[in-house]
């Protein structure tokens, strides 16, 4: 009997065999020597209640999940909570994972959903104080009160509608491809591209007073 025929997820399960991506502190994804694992088998073990396999699966994917959550929230506690929520949901629903796509793709879809909902909730709670802050910003001298470019940029990113912000941060900050973003968000590649373009246009508009900085 061949290895693939006896695979716990069936004869096509060898397609699940991929390299565990290790996220380095500098944000690049590198290959860890000797870390080839058969993720299909790992998932099958998790389904059987193997705690060690759960931990292994978690460790293979937690860095990228946490990084995305942190980039989008800028808050360690929130990023931790959103990451935890992602994995709790993923383990609870592992029975629904059919192996048609890579586990990382499936997990990313859960993560983006959890983070997106989290961002919207936060925005709702902060809406009022945010509006008050905006209103107070309108008074006083404009240029003298302006924060520096990076602060203004950070604020402009936070001001983006949640979906644009997700796409912008995933693509321009974390380096995801449009294919990865669209599969995670359940949209078309064209939608992801259009949203990124709109996000950039909005940022450009928000930073128009700094035009000299990037034109030089």
By CB under 8 A, name the binding residues for another protein: 25, 55, 58-59, 62-63, 66-67, 70-81, 83-85, 87-88, 91-92, 114, 117-118, 121-122, 125-126, 128-129, 132, 149-150, 153-154, 157, 169, 172-173, 200, 203-204, 211, 213-215
Which long-range contacts link 158-163 to residues 24+ away (Cβ below 8 Å)?
Answer: 158/74, 159/202, 159/206, 160/199, 160/202, 160/203, 162/116, 162/119, 162/120, 162/123, 163/116, 163/195
Half-sphere exposure of 126 (CA within 13 A, CB side): 11
Among residues 35 and 117, whose Cβ is nearest to another protein?
117
Dist. CA 137–CA 76, nearest whole Å: 27
- CB of 11 vs another protein, minimal distance in Å: 31
Nearest CA to 165 among 153, 176, 175, 157? 157
- CB of 68 vs another protein, minimal distance in Å: 9
Among residues 187 and 206, whose Cβ is nearest to another protein?
206
Retrieve residue 89's tokens: 């949901």
Q: Do 202 and 156 touch, CB atoms closer than 8 A?
A: yes
- CB of 125 vs another protein, minimal distance in Å: 5
Among residues 36 and 125, whose Cβ is nearest to another protein?
125
Residue 35: helix, strand or coil by DSSP?
strand
Give the number of other Cβ atoms within 10 Å of residue 90's Cβ: 23
- CB of 47 vs another protein, minimal distance in Å: 14
Among residues 44 and 60, whose Cβ is nearest to another protein?
60
Query: What's the farthest any 2 CA atoms get from each other in the chain?
Result: 78
Among residues 38 and 172, whose Cβ is nearest to another protein?
172
Among residues 2 and 208, whose Cβ is nearest to another protein?
208
- CB of 24 vs another protein, minimal distance in Å: 11
- CB of 184 vs another protein, minimal distance in Å: 17
């Amino acid at each position: 009997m061949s290895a693939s025929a006896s695979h716990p997820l069936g004869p096509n399960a060898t397609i699940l065999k991929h390299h565990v991506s290790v996220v380095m502190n500098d944000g690049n994804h590198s290959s860890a020597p000797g870390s080839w694992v058969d993720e299909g088998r790992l998932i099958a073990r998790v389904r059987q209640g193997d705690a060690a396999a759960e931990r292994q699966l978690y460790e293979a994917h937690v860095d990228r999940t946490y990084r995305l959550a942190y980039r989008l929230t800028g808050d360690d506690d929130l990023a931790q909570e959103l990451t935890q929520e992602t994995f709790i949901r993923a383990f609870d629903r592992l029975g629904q994972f059919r192996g048609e796509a890579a586990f990382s793709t499936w997990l990313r879809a859960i993560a983006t959903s959890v983070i997106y909902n989290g961002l919207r909730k936060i925005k709702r709670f902060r809406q009022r104080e945010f509006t008050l802050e905006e209103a107070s910003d309108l008074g006083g001298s404009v240029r003298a009160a302006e924060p520096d470019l990076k602060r203004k940029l950070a604020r402009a990113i936070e001001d983006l509608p949640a979906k644009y912000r997700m796409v912008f941060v995933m693509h321009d900050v974390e380096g995801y491809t449009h294919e990865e973003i669209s599969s995670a968000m359940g949209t078309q590649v064209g939608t992801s591209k259009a949203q990124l373009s709109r996000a950039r246009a909005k940022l450009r508009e928000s930073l128009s007073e700094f035009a000299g900085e990037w034109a030089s």
